[in-house]
Amino acid sequence: SQELEQSPQSLIVQEGKNLTINCTSSKTLYGLYWYKQKYGEGLIFLMMLQKGGEEKSHEKITAKLDEKKQQSSLHITASQPSHAGIYLCGAVMKTSYDKVIFGPGTSLSVIP
Amino acid sequence: KAGVTQTPRYLIKTRGQQVTLSCSPISGHRSVSWYQQTPGQGLQFLFEYFSETQRNKGNFPGRFSGRQFSNSRSEMNVSTLELGDSALYLCASSPGTTSEETQYFGPGTRLLVL
Nearest to B92 by CA among B59, B60, B47: B47
The Cα B17–Cα B13 span in angstroms is: 7
Q: Do residue A42 and residue B43 have CB atoms under 8 angstroms apart?
A: no
Q: Is B1 helix (H, G, I), strand (E, B) or coil?
A: coil
Q: Which of A35, A41, A99 has its CB closest to that of B108? A: A41
Residue B2: the pLDDT is 80
Substitution target in A1, A29, A41, A44 with the highest count of B β-carbons within 10 Å is: A41
Q: Is the pLDDT of residue A1 over 60?
A: no
pLDDT bucket at A98, cuts 50 / 70 / 90? low
For the residues of B29-62, what is the DSSP string, one character each?
A: --EEEEEEEETTTEEEEEEEEETTEEEEE-S--T
Q: What is the DSSP letter of B25?
A: P
In single-letter form, the type of residue at position A43 comes to L
Whether residue A83 contacts residue A17, with contact meaning beta carbons closer than 8 Å, is answered with: no
pLDDT bucket at A3, cuts 50 / 70 / 90? confident
Q: Is the pLDDT of residue A15 over 90?
A: yes
Residue of B nearest to A41 (CA): B107
pLDDT bucket at A97, cuts 50 / 70 / 90? low
Strand partners, B34: B47, B91
Q: Please, which residues 53-112 of chain B have a Cβ atom closer than 8 Å to chain A? A: 55-58, 88, 90, 92, 99-100, 102-108, 110
Q: What percent of chain B has pLDDT over 90?
A: 78
Residues of A in contact with B5 (CB under 8 A): none
Of residues A108 and A49, the one with the higher pLDDT is A108
Nearest to A99 by CA among B35, B42, B37, B23: B35
- Chain A residues whose C-beta is within 8 A of a chain B C-beta are 2, 30-31, 33, 35, 40-45, 48, 50, 88, 90, 92, 97-105
pLDDT tens string B16-27: 999 999 999 999
The C-alpha of A49 sits at a distance from chain B's nearest C-alpha, in angstroms, of 10
Residue A52: the pLDDT is 79
Q: Do residue B107 and residue A42 have CB atoms under 8 angstroms apart?
A: yes
The C-alpha of B90 sits at a distance from chain A's nearest C-alpha, in angstroms, of 7
pLDDT tens string A17-75: 999 999 998 887 777 889 999 887 888 989 888 877 889 998 899 999 987 778 999 99
Q: Do residue A31 and residue B42 have CB atoms under 8 angstroms apart?
A: no
pLDDT tens string B25-55: 999 999 999 999 998 888 998 999 999 999 8
pLDDT tens string B57-88: 888 999 999 999 999 999 999 999 999 999 99
